[in-house]
Structure 1
């Protein structure tokens, strides 16, 4: 199901009893970015703040499609793992062990290259690829790895939250997804593999997940956000 005022490519459907919004993005006609700080270098701190900043500086060439939180952060709002914005590495790749979802390995990286194409790679594979992305954010755990569900997920574990993440299809299109209802990691991974058709997908976050469609907050946890993924539609037919 879609709504008349939603961006093209965004639909809501029920999967395994839970409602989810999926937005399929074509890199040929859309720009994908990551936003963390404002023009003064201060952390924006929420999806709604990012939307407000973009709306204040919006031109006619780009139209905001969506914004969602895109990576885990420390108490001081700094990214837990790799974060690259406008080709500048703000935080380094984190290959440490630890507690929490970020360290439920294998974790991974969502990245956007300078040609606009995007990908999701497991952390070690990303390090070996030696890429120079324009944007990148590390999070965890991986949901789907080369078509296989994360090996440590139960089919339907008891830990259930609203969740959001990103995946990439074999045709290069990118799927951003968020649930309206609480789901397990196993169910969320199957959403990306079986419904979205993504061979690789990455978990962004859980209880703090938020989504803006256009300039409207469709799901607002009213919680802080560190890195935020932004998608804008180009009005020039796909040329940069």
Structure 2
């Protein structure tokens, strides 16, 4: 990962570059206090490195846009998917948090496109059980902006790959998986249909896995274009494969800082846990 001061200082189903202006979702704290929507003071370079602080998530600025970057490391974390409990979908991070032990969780984030009932649109695996099959069809909107992709993993080995690659190469069911789209970065190149800084500006979140096997989760704290988010992954995080997860309803729960976002109903949730040895 690049860590120069200059870099750090600069540091659903609708058409990808044709959506209207978006507004940040409401940011809430567990204690009920309102959180200022404006970005917090710019942190020092050392503070922005998620691997060097107790919280897995740190606020940074990239091209004048505030982002939160959360890092999952195989040696310290496990990853799983969550959809609901006792047959009832969570539909919010607040409900998920109420049913969870925050001491064991590094952070959680909504993770993938879903329908009006909260059901994943594409491939979804929870606790090694396939809940939805891989969707290789065509259609309109972000999900079908090919190539789309899958974030998946087992036993601390995590990957983001194009849907067609996944179909051709993955034969064993992973412990977790979620399909979304579009891919932001494919083999080190930005998705061919994503423009440099298109007019669609929404709060967005995404995931990418670097060459060291670490998973980088990013959520914008203000509206951001697909192009800028893709550049952050490629240029700053040096991630070769990154996957868009959602927008408008992009939310984060970070127990260590008390951040618990609220907003429109969500679907799949990715949960990053602390390993018991910590």
TM-score by length of structure 1 reads: 0.90
Are 1:45 and 2:91 counterparts? yes
SS in 1 for 2:136: coil
SS at match of 1:79: coil
Matched residue pairs, number?
A: 228
Q: Structure 2 regions of 5+ residues with no counterpart?
A: 1-42
Report the Cα offset of residue 9 of structure 1: 3.6
Q: Which residue of structure 1 aligns with residue 165 of structure 2?
A: 125
Mark the runs of 5 or more structure 1 residues left unpaired by the alignment: none
Q: Are 2:63 and 1:23 equivalent residues in the alignment?
A: no
Indicate yes or no: 2:224 matched with 1:183.
yes
- After TM superposition, give the deviation of residue 219 of structure 1 in Å: 5.9
Query: Closer, same or farther in 2 for the Cα pair 1:42/1:152, shift >3 Å?
Result: same
Runs of 4+ more than 4 Å apart: none
Distance 2:228 2:180 in 1: 18
2:122 aligned partner: 81
Question: What is the distance in 1 between the residues matched to 2:99 and 2:158?
Answer: 24
Does the CA-based 8 Å contact 1:65-1:232 persist in structure 2?
yes
Show the counterpart of 2:149.
108
Give the TM-score normalised by the residue count of structure 2.
0.78
Task: List aligned pairs for 1:31-180, cutoff 5 A.
Answer: 31-38=78-85, 40-55=86-101, 63-113=104-154, 115-130=155-170, 131-180=172-221
CA RMSD of aligned residues (A): 1.7
Task: Tell whether the 8 Å contact from 1:164 to 1:205 is kept in structure 2 after alignment.
Answer: yes
Shift of 1:216: 6.0
Asked if structure 2 preserves the Cα contact closer than 8 Å seen for 1:166 and 1:177, the reply is: yes
Which range moves more in the overlay, 25-34 or 135-144?
Answer: 25-34
Partners of 2:120 and 2:187 in 1: CA distance: 26
SS in 2 for 1:77: coil
